[in-house]
Structure 1
Amino acid sequence: MLVNKEENIVQCAAELACELHKGQVDKAGVDYFTGHLTAVAKMGTTWQQQVVGYLHDASEDTPHSVEEVLNLLDAKLGTPLSDTDRLELADTLYLLNHHLAPDRETYIQRIKSNALATTVKMHDLTHNMDLTRIPNPAKKDYERIERYKQEYAYLSKA
């Protein structure tokens, strides 16, 4: 029974992400939901990693706050998330919104303080570092990848 509940939360998160990011494309020009968000979510091995994979950019790339995103998820679910689950998802989504940090270094350092945020950010970086997605990578793409590699190395250290 619990598995079905968790699968339902992941499915509702996917539907919400698809709606919130409608019309957005990634750096490769691919639909943001079917390309990036789905790839990051599918790397997740727990329902929490999958939900955050789908929603990690929602408050960053749409007009919605983390709280609004979680309220929309609750509405899709038809029953609110447990307080524990909501708090864990909220904390993680706040950490993954770079607009809420003063600079990139602080952003990455804060992420490392949270295991769920670290795991999802490493999935995000893994997908973002895949230059085969970009037909004709430019110098700026290679420079961005170098920064991502450094961040990944930092996050992967114990």
Structure 2
Amino acid sequence: MQQPTMDWVAQARALASQAHAGQQDKAGQPYIEHVARVAAAIHDDDMAKAAAWLHDVVEDCPQYAAQVQAFPAPIRDTVSLLSRHTAADADQYYARIRQHPPALKVKLADIADNAHPRRLLQLAPAVADRLRSKYAAALVALGGQRAATATPATATTRLLQLMDAARTLAALANEPEVTAGSGQDAPHPRQAALLAVCEVVRAEVEAQMTPETFVIWSDMYVQP
């Protein structure tokens, strides 16, 4: 008689719930809620979904690391890649994830949830700004797709500068002194000019990122 297939997603969910019990995120919410949202974002790939449940267990709850080793190799390997202590530095960490589709899928879901305005607006402005910069850099590392014109470091710096410029232009375009005089049918010429430049910069950012990472970056600055 054929043995039933182990439900690894359910096993991963149970272990994550046990490992993260009592933990809170930066906003004071149960940490497992973040993990659950990341797992819910993974579709049509049970190995990746199980890894999503476990993605912070080894790094944040090392006392449960041995239990993660009981999972199949595809799950273990993905969780290992998502655990920062297995990489020499951030560049290696993101480079390895970028080359591993299941790990990339989970990491993008992780960043998308962490960077969601719903969560960032619960934090002090300085903390939220620091995290936005951190997540923007991560998205560039995972989804920047244009070949470097000089060196990879220069290309990364230029893309981050473009992303920062787009954000600054959008903020300036909505300042009261710029929007004063705007009507329902048309913005003030000053606002229209800023928005036009902002769209040019955003288009350049979009051209240099994968669609998935561009959407996550764009959503970081949308008011919920």
Q: What TM-score do you get using the length of structure 2 for normalisation?
A: 0.57
Structure with greater Cα Rg: 2
Q: Which runs of 5+ in 1 are unaligned?
A: 72-80
Instruction: Say whether 1:103 aligns with 2:89.
Output: yes
Deviation string for 1:55-104 (max 9, x for gaps)?
00010001236453232xxxxxxxxx5xxxx2211211111001222222
Percent identical pairs in the alignment equals: 29
Contact 1:28 1:133 in 2 (8 A): yes
2:91 is aligned with what amino acid?
Answer: E
Q: What TM-score do you get using the length of structure 1 for normalisation?
A: 0.78
Deviation string for 1:118-142 (max 9, x for gaps)?
1100000000101322424331321
Aligned counterparts of 1:68 and 1:16: Cα–Cα separation in 2: 8
Which segment drifts farther, 88-97 or 53-62? 88-97
Q: Which has the higher contact order (CA 8 A, sep 6+)?
A: 1
Q: Which runs of 5+ in 2 are unaligned?
A: 146-224
**Secondary structure, aligned partner of 2:69:** helix
Aligned counterparts of 2:108 and 2:39: Cα–Cα separation in 1: 12
C-alpha RMSD over aligned residues: 2.0
Q: Which of residues 105, 108, 127 in structure 1 aligns to 2:113?
A: 127
Contact 1:129 1:149 in 2 (8 A): no
Instruction: Say whether 1:147 aligns with 2:146.
Output: no
Contact 1:39 1:127 in 2 (8 A): yes
Q: Which runs of 4+ in 1 moved over 6 A?
A: none
Aligned positions of 1:1-158 closer than 5 A: 5=5, 8-33=7-32, 35-45=33-43, 46-64=45-63, 66-71=65-70, 86-134=72-120, 135-157=122-144
Count of paired positions: 140
